[in-house]
Structure 1
Amino acid sequence: MKFFKGMMVAGLAISLCSASLATVSSSADAATVVESNYNKTVTLFNKADILAYTGLSLTSSNVSSVYNELVKASTWEAAGYSSSQAAVIARDFGRNYYKSVNLLQKMTYQNDLHLKVILITKGYVKAEFGLQSYYVPEAPVTPEKPEEPEVPETPEVPETPVTPEKPETPAEQSDLKKLEIQIKYTTGQQIQLQYQVNSNGTIKAQYQDKSNKVQLQGSAAEEKIEGIIAGLDLKNGSEKEITSHILNKLGRGSSYKQFQYQAQFNDNKQVKFKLK
């Protein structure tokens, strides 16, 4: 892998995480390692890197297919990680479907975005993911001084700028931006959940079961909510499909007094309804 200029990485044996979790190998020449030390390795992957390791070109229409390749350890081994490191990255990338797919979706809209993989090797070995813009300016070229004054050339007529193509509208519901669900059961129980994907790919989640005095936040709420909505088409599902799926996952029965649903997506589409 390429390293920033002036960055030297010694061959460190990471005894805390076993020899198999050593520094990422250099076989993946295209990816860019921006930090590598005793505690972690931070690597950036652009769309060309993803194509090289998955065999798929990342577009808004095949985000799910690329995701399915990135949850395979063999893909990350092809990127230069050891087998144990690749297994950790594939495992953690697959743990949060909505966050991972949202990161890939955003990369299809902005060419300068890179998938940032943070492999933490100190203590509990895990991988975290995000997005980062990365640009290396070219070294300025010093123009040669002409021996004699040159006759100025007739300036060329500038070409008509090409209008950039508008990115395709994603055909799937994986570009979830915000989700709010509130349910009041006939038994008096109340459940409310909120799930928001921030612009940097981080998740803000909250789950409340007011009747049983259960309140989850952060990663605990994130995992709880993702378990509830897993396998559900949040964007294109009918009111009946959405209501039935969520009530079934919550396991509190199907008799509700009020069911309120609101979802917002990155293409500005909103789906909301209120049933009584």
Structure 2
Amino acid sequence: MKVFKGMMIAGLAISLCSASLSVVSSSAEAATLVESNYNKTITLFNKADILAYTGLSLTSSNVSSVYNKLVKASTWEAAGYSSSQAVVIARDFGRNYSKSISLLQKMTYQNDLHLKVILITKGYVKAEFGLQSYYVPGTPVLPEEPKEPEVPVTPEKPEVPEISEQSDLKKLEIQVTYTTGQQIQLEYQVKSNGTIKAQYQDKSNKVQLQDTAAAEKIEGITAGLDLKHASEKTITSHILNKLGRGSSYKQFQYQAQFNDNTQVKIKLK
């Protein structure tokens, strides 16, 4: 009887311990819970998980749309976090717009990457984010890149380098008038709270896009271009090539403004 009673007590202790670790893993079946203790939880989300919780497929053309979903607490609640944890994760994901966009963009280029969510639960509750290759139980956890630490110590030391072409972009305006009379105008602005205001207009073809649709169109045009450091020739040829209306222009205007107050202006006739 004493042995049986001891087994019952041990079984109850194991059940209570398991319940304390089920905050994230219980409903995030597709996500991978790498670590869970009284200090922190580390969970990996792949593209399929992001689709399941946001309703959007992560592609290079809709990174900003996915980002807008991930700064909402309801998305993280759907992933299995408690309401208070979801608020913290959504808040901290939106605090560093440039890094968050960079992480999502890199996932579109490399299919074997997970979005790593590190929820610090001891002391000041906060969330940190990074990327990690597929997790295989029993094998060492691989860092995102050889030169980067596996887990950032603070948000000020990002695990993934920011993408130069859009990392600190504040505002972009482009206007091209072609010798044929066609004219294309676009404007892309990143507000202080991380939201994007955008407009794309092609009057000749009766195309006018606003906000999310315009942002995706413009991001597709500027993808792969260093908006801040590229030469005038590179910027001009890249934009004209992406617009697909030929290279014969009457006037080409380009103006980019960045968070460090750097401005790049090009005006060609």
Q: Given the two structures, how large is their TM-score scaled by the length of structure 2?
A: 0.50
Bigger proportion of residues as helix: 2
Q: If you compute each CA radius of gyration, which structure gives the higher value, 1 or 2?
A: 1
